[in-house]
């Protein structure tokens, strides 16, 4: 939680000083982002080991940890958008955010279906270090990100990506050589989608090699049908967010886009809660009318944009209200999910087990 507080502080400061995410944040923020990101990465990588050492680990703690990580997935997509000067008014930056959510979601699918997390050669730890390095390099020399990468067909790659019929690709990949900036953008656009496809194939091959025994009880969320439903959920969320973004670009400006980022961030957290409760507690996810608060926020946001002429005097207040509503529903949804886990495991919130206290005394 300490690392989460640090990285969300840097995120909040960024939205306050440069809501356009066009690269105009001062050097002190770049340093803040690198330091806070390093603190978060260190804390996130050591909390599990510390819990196991003190014998304090629990399914509820794991759920809280991964729930925070789900929110940070969006934050760690926003940081490179600022560092690489992508902006919040084009499809490239939005794909950055949605791809980060997609990569985190499918990474947790391996824990649900295979029982262990799939670690790639280039994974979240390496990508976080890359973001921190780019921030520090930009402080040292902003022009270094435009350094040419001497690889064959570099200009052809840029030209090919620039032909993608989505707003922003022609600007980011204007005619010219492949640079460090463009290579980073290409990595954020292509790698998560490739990663998601390979994970889905790996899980299907796992079920093919280990078919379910007759009359055996299937755990909630497992099996090919469970995988299919989870893929439908994440793809529906991806396309819904992208459609809402396109509406914001056509009808509204910067305030709506910042609210879109917040709704996407906390709405994805709710989607991850659905997955976490099945993975951690082996129980079905909670069901309610507010199962997908992020979807409610997106609908409110798009509605405000469509009817902006009728509510022009309060439209910006409406955008912030939609974001605030999504955040509040996320907190309630997370609490309800935690209660489901507590009931399933017979534990209570924020209670230190006796074995943990005895381990500390030793």
DSSP labels, 183-197 = HHHHHHHHHHHHHHH
Burial class (CB in 10 A: 0-12, 13-18, 19+), 128: buried
Instruction: Give the separation between CA 246 and CA 306, rounded to whole angstroms.
Output: 12
- Is 91 or 281 the better-scoring residue by pLDDT? 91
Alpha-carbon distance 71 to 23, whole Å? 22
Whether the pLDDT of residue 288 is over 80: the answer is no
CA R_g for the chain? 21
pLDDT of amino acid 357: 45
What is residue 29's predicted lDDT score, i.e. its pLDDT? Answer: 92
As a whole number, the mean pLDDT across the chain is: 78
What would the mean pLDDT of 73-93 be, rounded to a whole number? 86
Distance CA 258, CA 78 (A): 11
Residue 52 or 265, more confident: 265
Give per-residue pLDDT as tens, 122-150.
667 777 888 888 888 888 888 888 888 88
Rounded distance between C-alpha atoms, residue 180 and residue 52, angstroms: 40
Helical H runs in 21-153? 27-53, 59-83, 91-113, 124-140
Spatial CA neighbour of 111 closest among 270, 227, 237, 234: 227
pLDDT digits (tens, 9 = 90+) for 219-267: 666 777 878 888 888 888 888 888 888 877 766 667 778 888 898 898 8
Q: Which residues are bridge partners to 78 per DSSP?
A: none
Kindly tell me if the per-residue pLDDT of 360 is higher than 50.
no
Tokens of 65: 């940890």
Choose among 341, 109, 73, 79: nearest CA to 234: 109
By percentage, how much of the chain surpasses pLDDT 90? 2
What's the pTM?
0.85
């Amino acid at each position: 939680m300490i690392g989460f507080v640090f990285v969300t502080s840097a995120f909040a400061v960024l939205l306050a000083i440069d809501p356009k995410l066009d690269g105009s944040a001062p050097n002190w923020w770049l340093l803040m982002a690198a330091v806070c990101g390093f603190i978060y990465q260190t804390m996130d990588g050591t909390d599990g080991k510390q819990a196991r050492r003190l014998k304090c680990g629990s399914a509820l703690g794991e759920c809280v940890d991964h729930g925070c990580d789900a929110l940070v997935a969006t934050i760690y997509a926003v940081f490179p958008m600022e560092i690489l000067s992508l902006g919040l008014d084009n499809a490239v930056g939005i794909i950055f955010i949605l791809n980060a959510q997609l990569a985190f979601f499918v990474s947790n699918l391996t824990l649900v279906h295979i029982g262990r997390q799939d670690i790639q050669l280039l994974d979240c730890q390496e990508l976080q270090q890359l973001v921190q390095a780019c921030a520090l390099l930009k402080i040292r020399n902003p022009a270094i990100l435009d350094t040419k990468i001497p690889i064959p067909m570099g200009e052809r790659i840029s030209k090919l990506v620039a032909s993608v019929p989505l707003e922003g690709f022609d600007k980011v990949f204007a005619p010219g050589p492949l640079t460090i900036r463009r290579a980073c953008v290409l990595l954020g656009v292509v790698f998560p989608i490739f990663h998601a496809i390979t994970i889905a194939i790996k899980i299907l091959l796992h079920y093919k090699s280990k078919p379910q025994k007759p009359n055996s009880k299937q755990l909630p969320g497992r099996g090919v049908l469970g995988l299919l439903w989870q893929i439908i959920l994440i793809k529906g969320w991806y396309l819904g967010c992208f459609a809402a973004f396109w509406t914001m670009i056509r009808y509204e400006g910067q305030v709506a886009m910042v609210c879109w980022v917040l709704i996407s961030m906390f709405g994805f957290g709710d989607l991850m809660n659905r997955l976490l409760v099945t993975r951690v507690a082996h129980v079905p996810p909670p069901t309610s009318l507010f199962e997908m608060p992020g979807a409610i926020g997106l609908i409110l946001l798009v509605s405000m944009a469509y009817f902006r002429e009728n509510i022009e005097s309060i439209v910006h207040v409406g955008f912030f209200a939609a974001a605030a509503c999504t955040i509040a529903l996320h907190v309630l949804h997370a609490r309800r999910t935690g209660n489901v886990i507590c009931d399933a495991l017979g534990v209570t919130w924020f209670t230190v087990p006796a074995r943990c206290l005895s381990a500390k005394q030793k």
